[in-house]
Homo-oligomer: A and B are copies of this chain.
Amino acid sequence: MSTHAPSSPSSANDTLSYEQAGVNYDLIDPLKISAQRAAAATGAHLAGHGFSEVLASRGESAYVVDVGPFYIASIVECLGTKTLVADEMRQLTGKSYYDSIAQDTIAMAVNDLITVGATPLVVQAYWAAGGSDWFGDKQRAQSLVEGWKRACDVCQVAWGGGETPALAGIVEAGRIDLAASCTGLINPKERLSVGDKLGAGDAIVLLASSGIHANGLSLARKLVERLPQGYLTEIEPGLSYGDALLAPTTLYSPVTEALYKAGIQPHYCANITGHGWRKLLRHQGKFTYRIHTVPPVTPVLKFMQEHAKQDDREAYSTLNMGAGFAIFVPAADAARTVEISKACGIDAWVAGQLEEGEKQLLIEPLNIRFSDDDLQLR
């Protein structure tokens, strides 16, 4: 059970935090705990079919089942509220943006699925509209189809099918609730990366994000109220805030597949989504994660941080701040991991390493420390 967006500590004055942006995780968390407990009790059913769950995948980003010759990983992921930005921007610019939105949706599923070592094979589309008329807008619908197809091409997955319900009375009129499910294989089984191999000395390689991706949108939308020109505010010459927000989420599966082909076995991966860099602490082990190199901050995130008047600690605790995905590899493979990512067109940095010690993330260039207490994901 994962919730979609980060919680963050409230803070002073006109700093804008997540609670203020309308997401209250205290209300969701008791349900999550109850659901996780009930879900855990169902793992035993697999024995009746001759299979078993990979217990360590409970609490990870994708659920893994051992079916003998390989593992199967599966997931369903929601896009969140990024469509609301696309809908506003469409009214302002006449562009549809749903090709980018499609990629965002697939990225939410694929980027999580690959963290456990899986090769994504099949994506299913979940497009629940507020009414049949949503699908009657041909430009937008066609844009959604094309973007979905293109993201499947990038990830080399088969688009299996999906659902296009019209849910008047549940989904708001004129809106669409987008999600993707993804099924993949961990094959050969040695590719499984649910954290048992992670250890002191491992390098932390960070992969560039393209922008906000699909987390932090509640905050991004709230911020618009403070901008006299709203989404059309230029964050740099020729680039509006809205257009920058709508840069599609980077798809990282080409990198994890290329690493496998190059003989590099990640010890662990973290998709940096909600909770920002606190996601680097996701693994259950007790390690100190020491960061010596911080990637450049994507302009739209820098802009958001400034206008939300967040200090670095708050910004790095909620947004990806330029790093969309973390790969933990043996130190000897770190430089080559960066090269391989760059060859896939995704900038990357050897950003730090794991050490024995207290469970904490030290972002040294920024003098930030996050402890285990700052992340309660499971």
The number of times this chain is found in the oligomer is 2
- A32 proximal to B (CB < 8 A): yes
| Minimum distance in angstroms from A187 CB to a CB of chain B | 8
Assess whether A72 is in contact with B152, with CB atoms less than 8 Å apart: no
With a CB–CB cut-off of 8 A, which chain B residues contact A74?
A: 74, 122, 124, 160, 181, 183
- A163 proximal to B (CB < 8 A): yes
Q: Which residue of B is nearest A119, CB measured?
A: B49
A42-B152, A45-B157 are contacts. A35–B166 as well, Cβ < 8 Å? no
A126-B76, A172-B169, A183-B72 are contacts. A164–B121 as well, Cβ < 8 Å? no
| Minimum distance in angstroms from A192 CB to a CB of chain B | 15
Assess whether A31 is in contact with B164, with CB atoms less than 8 Å apart: yes
Assess whether B162 is in contact with A76, with CB atoms less than 8 Å apart: yes
Q: Which residue of B is nearest A148, CB measured?
A: B38
| Minimum distance in angstroms from A369 CB to a CB of chain B | 29
In the bound assembly, the distance between CA atoms of A248 and B49 in angstroms comes to 25
Partner of A166, one of B28, B30, B58, B84: B28
- A10 proximal to B (CB < 8 A): no
Partner of A149, one of B41, B49, B67: B41
Assess whether B122 is in contact with A159, with CB atoms less than 8 Å apart: no
Partner of A163, one of B4, B128, B163: B4
- A2 proximal to B (CB < 8 A): yes
With a CB–CB cut-off of 8 A, which chain B residues contact A171?
A: 170-172, 177
In the bound assembly, the distance between CA atoms of A39 and B34 in angstroms comes to 37
Partner of A135, one of B27, B49, B172: B27
With a CB–CB cut-off of 8 A, which chain B residues contact A176?
A: 170
Assess whether B167 is in contact with A78, with CB atoms less than 8 Å apart: yes
- A344 proximal to B (CB < 8 A): no
Q: Which residue of B is nearest A39, CB measured?
A: B159
Q: Which residue of B is nearest A150, CB measured?
A: B38
Q: Which residue of B is nearest A40, CB measured?
A: B159
In the bound assembly, the distance between CA atoms of A275 and B355 in angstroms comes to 61
Q: From residue 117 to 141 of chain A, which have CB atoms closer than 8 A to chain B?
A: 119, 121-122, 124-126, 128, 131-133, 135-136, 138, 141
With a CB–CB cut-off of 8 A, which chain B residues contact A376?
A: none
Q: Which residue of B is nearest A146, CB measured?
A: B38
| Minimum distance in angstroms from A125 CB to a CB of chain B | 7
Assess whether B163 is in contact with A2, with CB atoms less than 8 Å apart: yes
Assess whether A4 is in contact with B165, with CB atoms less than 8 Å apart: yes
- A77 proximal to B (CB < 8 A): yes
Closest 6 CB pairs of A and B: A63-B160, A181-B181, A4-B165, A27-B136, A39-B159, A38-B149
With a CB–CB cut-off of 8 A, which chain B residues contact A11?
A: none
| Minimum distance in angstroms from A323 CB to a CB of chain B | 23
| Minimum distance in angstroms from A164 CB to a CB of chain B | 6
In the bound assembly, the distance between CA atoms of A125 and B78 in angstroms comes to 11
Assess whether B76 is in contact with A165, with CB atoms less than 8 Å apart: no
With a CB–CB cut-off of 8 A, which chain B residues contact A284?
A: none
A84-B169, A145-B34, A181-B181 are contacts. A76–B24 as well, Cβ < 8 Å? no
With a CB–CB cut-off of 8 A, which chain B residues contact A32?
A: 164
Assess whether B76 is in contact with A124, with CB atoms less than 8 Å apart: yes
With a CB–CB cut-off of 8 A, which chain B residues contact A165?
A: 3-5, 78, 80
Assess whether B159 is in contact with A38, with CB atoms less than 8 Å apart: yes
